[in-house]
Amino acid sequence: MDQGANSAQPVAHAFVRAINRQDPDAIAAQMSPDHRFIDSLGNTVSGREAMRKVWAGYFQMVPDYTLAIDETVSSGPIVVLLGTAQGTVARGNELKAEDQWSTPVAIRAVIENGFVAEWRVYADNEPIRKLIAKA
């Protein structure tokens, strides 16, 4: 493994830990100023501050959102994380077992100068879509 891969993996894993703490400020602190988030439908949000707001809103909808990473593969600045995304869709201030969801996830992160420059998520969002539609 080359030096880039060795330095990129810890940055990607630190980003996951910030996500798992549901901490938009810590997540944003690890993003490059021109960070790009691309969801599994190809929707893109650009910019650190825009993504801080997106994460804050997402954690209001899914306050216990977490990523469980089972495997990490990297090459230079590219890190691929494989695992599971899960959480519970909040109904008011309540988290109910019937509103929990889980889906396999693959994430492609691009690390530049110690920051996450791009975070691209590949996941089947149908489980959470069905729960949101119940609202």
Query: Which residue bears the tokens 């910019």?
Result: 47
Eight-state DSSP code of residue 91: B
CATH topology of domain 3-133: Nuclear Transport Factor 2; Chain: A, (3.10.450)
Domain boundaries, the chain: 3-133
Angle CA 78–127–28, to nearest 5: 40
Q: Are strands 115-123 and 78-88 parallel, antiparallel or unpaired?
A: unpaired
Q: Dig out the tokens for 89 from the structure.
A: 């869709």
Kindly give the confidence (pLDDT) of every residue in the chain, 135 residues in length, as a single tens digit, with 9 standing for 90 and above: 343 445 899 999 999 999 999 999 999 999 999 999 999 999 999 999 999 999 999 999 999 999 999 999 999 999 999 999 999 988 887 888 888 989 999 999 999 999 999 999 999 877 677 767 765
pTM, two decimal places: 0.89
State the DSSP H helix or E strand holding residue 102, giving kind and residue range, or none if neither.
strand 100-112
Q: Per residue in 15-45, pLDDT tens? A: 999 999 999 999 999 999 999 999 999 999 9
Beta carbons of 89 and 62 less than 8 angstroms apart:
yes
Q: What pLDDT is recorded for position 72?
A: 97
